[in-house]
């Protein structure tokens, strides 16, 4: 065993004392490190691309070491909550929808980064701004819109007389009823999950004329329009849906569609992209490649119009981060069109950038099936509509109150009681 002499001990302990006294690490350890946390992408190729190509390039260009970590999307909130409370953790955190509003007091002002991107690319979509701006400043840098469109089986809908996708909820219910009778129901989650549940239930409510609050933030949920939407949903669910959907998360519909147990589902294109990735694994009942029988369409119209709410992604820099400057440099670099484009193309349309300028990108011409996602960002509204998408709206969203209103009525009880319950919950949030 090597001898640890008194001289060596003094050298080491003296060095450590020096670091502690000056709060300065030795020169060789001074390269900035940015810890970036994102979800496990529904398009795994994009995470691979980031790890193997884009991030090494960023490190080289900026002289910043980037620790990239991916977690389940539903685990992003626990991570940021514990990080903020303990004052230590990742330097950049991806968040869903308007969740940044929950952490507005604990994240850095990123207006400089976001405004520069908006200025360089024209402007953000309205929904991108609503989700990430607290009325005074940007609290999160918009990253992408995960367009929500209905993926459906072209041939199955044609078999029941719908060569074109149903335009109204009534028609969709009719088609779904006929298809359910053939053992091919519509698949939709109304469970406690971040993506497909709210992006279905909120636009459904809006399309009947229901709203959580008015422009001034007054709770107006308990209305004739909302009750009508709930009444419609309970019958629609029984007539046309796979009733197991009440317990689904964001991945159940993918598995159900790919195994051909459902005819249609609201989806962020991951089903179609998976069928492209493994064309010989996923086949129709007639032996054709499944990808040839999938099309996408927007959610149907209701009495008050056609609406959408898309899952939205943005990045916050927590205020505790000691690497805010490097984190901002990195986000600016990532959003530079030449760098962002590589990631965007790898998504094959699953993610739509937050500015309209990308609608003109040639990637959209590669596959007409993905075309509806091109303009997804234009149509989306945000939670809390017609009021601001603020902390209260985020609270209602994370408590799943709107989704549960429909789920409660489906489970039994009157539509009026479900709406009254939800309105009561909203009042306790909005005051």
Partner 1 sequence: MSASTGVATRGPISRMLEREGALAFWLLVPTLVLLTLFIAYPFVRGVWLSLTSSVVGVPGEYVGLKNFAKIWNDSIFRTAALNTFVYTGVTTVFKLALGLWLALLLNRHFRGKAWVRAFILLPFIIPTVLSTLAWKWMFDPTFSVFNWLFWKLSIINARINWLGDPELAMASIMTVNVWRGVPFYAISLLAGLQTINPDLHEAAAIDGANRFQRFWYVTWPLLLPVTMVVVLFSVIQTFADFQLVYVLTGGGPANATHLFATYAYQIGIGTGLLSEGAAISLAMFPALLLVVVFQLWYIRRVENR
Closer of 212 and 379 to partner 1 (Cβ): 212
249 part of the interface to partner 1, by CB under 8 A: yes
Between 299 and 396, CB nearer to partner 1: 396
Please state, as a whole number, how many other Cβ atoms lie within 10 Å of the Cβ of residue 155.
Answer: 13
388 sits near partner 1 (criterion: CB under 8 A): no
Interaction between residue 91 and partner 1 (CB under 8 A):
no
Q: Which is nearer to partner 1, 249 or 359 (CB)?
A: 249
Binding residue for partner 1 (CB under 8 A) from 84, 93, 299, 327? 84
Q: Which is nearer to partner 1, 10 or 247 (CB)?
A: 247
Which parts of 171-190 interact with partner 1 (CB under 8 A)? 190
Least CB distance to partner 1 at residue 118 (A) = 26
Q: Give the nearer residue to partner 1 in terms of CB position, either 64 or 179.
A: 179
Nearer to partner 1, 335 or 408 (CB): 408
Report, in Å, the least distance between residue 315 CB and partner 1. 17
For residue 32, give both structure tokens: 């900035």
For residues 91 and 32, what is the distance between their CA atoms, to the nearest angstrom? 11
- The position carrying tokens 């399309």 is 207
Instruction: Confirm or reject binding of residue 77 to partner 1 (CB under 8 A).
Output: yes
* 226, burial (CB in 10 Å: exposed 0-12, middle 13-18, buried 19+): buried
Query: Are residues 297 and 165 in contact, defined by beta-carbon separation less than 8 angstroms?
Result: yes
**Which residue in the set 259, 281, 292, 414 belongs to the binding site for partner 1 (CB under 8 A)?**
259
| Positions in 293-322 near partner 1 (CB under 8 A) | 319
| Alpha-carbon separation of residue 303 from 203, 214, 306, 327 (angstroms) | 12, 19, 9, 46
Angle (CA) 54 98 304, round 5°? 120
Which residues share a beta bridge with 151?
265, 296
Within 10 Å of residue 127's Cβ, how many Cβ atoms?
A: 26
Under the binding rule (CB under 8 A), the answer on residue 102 touching partner 1 is yes
Which of these ranges, 13-21, 76-84, 280-288, 371-379, lies near partner 1 under the rule CB under 8 A?
Answer: 76-84
Q: Counting contacts by CB under 8 A, is residue 243 touching partner 1?
A: yes
For residue 49, the tally of other CB atoms under 10 A from its CB is 18
Residue 428: is it exposed, middle or buried by C-beta count within 10 angstroms (0-12/13-18/19+)?
A: exposed
Query: Strand 294-297 relative to strand 141-146: parallel, antiparallel, unpaired?
Result: unpaired
| DSSP state for residue 335 in the 8-state scheme | H
Please tell me whether residue 246 binds partner 1 under the rule CB under 8 A.
yes
- Tell whether residue 233 is a contact of partner 1 (CB under 8 A): no
255 binds partner 1 (CB under 8 A): yes
* Phi-psi group of 400: left, alpha or beta (phi > 0 → left; psi -120 to 50 → alpha; rest → beta): left
The piece of 150-158, 165-173, 381-389, 393-401 that touches partner 1 (CB under 8 A) is 393-401
Nearer to partner 1, 61 or 105 (CB): 105
Q: How far is the CB of 379 from partner 1 (least distance, A)?
A: 27
CB 165 → partner 1: shortest distance, Å?
A: 23
Q: Tell me the DSSP string of 42-100.
A: SSHHHHHHIIIIIHHHHHHHH--EEEEEEE-GGGHHHHHHHHHHHT-S-SEEEEETTGG
Instruction: Report the nearest approach of partner 1 to the CB of residue 195 (Å).
Output: 13
Q: How many residues at the interface with partner 1, by CB under 8 A?
A: 41
Q: Which of 140, 193, 201, 347 binds partner 1 (CB under 8 A)?
A: 193
- Measured between alpha carbons, how far is 106 from 100 in angstroms, rounded to an integer? 10
Measure the CA–CA gap between 420 and 410, rounded to whole angstroms.
15
106 binds partner 1 (CB under 8 A): yes
Q: Shortest gap between Cβ of 71 and partner 1 (angstroms)?
A: 14
Task: Locate 281 and state its tokens.
Answer: 């694994």
171, 317 in Cβ contact below 8 A? no
Q: Scanning residues 395 to 414, which ones bind partner 1 (CB under 8 A)? A: 395, 398-400, 404, 407-408, 411
158 contact partners, CB below 8 Å, separation of at least 6: none
Give dist(CA 318, CA 277) in Å, integer. Answer: 36
103 binds partner 1 (CB under 8 A): yes
Q: Does 245 bind partner 1 (CB under 8 A)?
A: yes
User: Where along the sequence are the contacts to partner 1 (CB under 8 A)?
Assistant: 77-78, 81-82, 84-85, 102-103, 105-106, 190-193, 242-249, 252, 255-256, 259, 261, 319, 394-395, 398-400, 404, 407-408, 411, 421, 424-425, 428
């Amino acid at each position: 065993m090597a001898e640890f002499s008194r001289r060596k001990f003094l050298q080491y302990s003296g060095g450590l004392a020096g670091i502690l006294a000056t709060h300065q690490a030795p020169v060789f350890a001074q390269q900035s490190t940015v810890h970036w946390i994102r979800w496990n992408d529904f398009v795994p190729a994009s995470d691979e691309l980031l790890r193997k190509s884009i991030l090494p390039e960023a490190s080289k260009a900026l002289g910043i070491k980037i620790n990239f970590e991916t977690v389940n999307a539903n685990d992003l909130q626990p991570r940021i909550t514990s990080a903020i409370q303990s004052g230590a953790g990742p330097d950049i955190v991806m968040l869903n929808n308007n969740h940044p509003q929950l952490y507005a007091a604990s994240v850095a002002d990123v207006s400089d980064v976001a405004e520069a991107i908006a200025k360089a690319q024209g402007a953000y979509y309205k929904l991108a701004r609503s989700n990430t701006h607290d009325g005074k400043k940007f609290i999160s840098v918009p990253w992408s819109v995960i367009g929500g469109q209905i993926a459906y089986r072209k041939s199955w809908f044609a078999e029941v007389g719908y060569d074109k996708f149903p335009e109204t909820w009534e028609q969709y219910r009719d088609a779904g009823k006929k298809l359910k009778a053939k053992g091919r129901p519509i698949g939709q989650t109304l469970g406690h999950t971040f993506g497909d549940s709210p992006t279905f239930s909120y636009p459904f409510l809006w399309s009947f004329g229901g709203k959580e609050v008015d422009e001034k933030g007054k709770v107006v949920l308990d209305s004739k329009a909302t009750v009508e939407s709930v009444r419609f949903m309970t019958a629609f669910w029984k007539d046309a849906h796979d009733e197991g959907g009440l317990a689904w998360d964001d991945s159940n519909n993918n598995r159900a569609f790919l195994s051909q147990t459902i005819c249609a589902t609201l989806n962020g294109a991951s089903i179609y992209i998976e069928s492209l990735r493994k064309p010989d694994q996923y086949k129709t009942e007639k032996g054709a490649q499944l990808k040839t029988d999938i099309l996408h369409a927007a959610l149907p119209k209701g009495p008050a119009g056609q609406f959408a709410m898309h899952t939205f992604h943005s990045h916050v820099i927590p205020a505790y981060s000691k690497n805010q400057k490097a984190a901002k440099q990195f986000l600016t670099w990532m959003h530079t069109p030449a760098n962002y484009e590589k990631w965007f193309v790898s998504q094959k349309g699953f993610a739509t950038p937050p500015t309209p300028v990308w609608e003109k990108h040639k990637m959209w011409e590669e596959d007409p099936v993905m075309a509806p996602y091109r303009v997804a960002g234009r149509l989306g509204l945000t939670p809390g509509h017609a009021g601001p998408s603020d902390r209260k709206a985020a609270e209602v969203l994370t408590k799943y109150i709107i989704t549960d209103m429909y789920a409660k009525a489906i489970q039994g009880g009157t539509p009026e009681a479900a709406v009254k319950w939800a309105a009561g919950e909203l009042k306790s949030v909005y005051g």
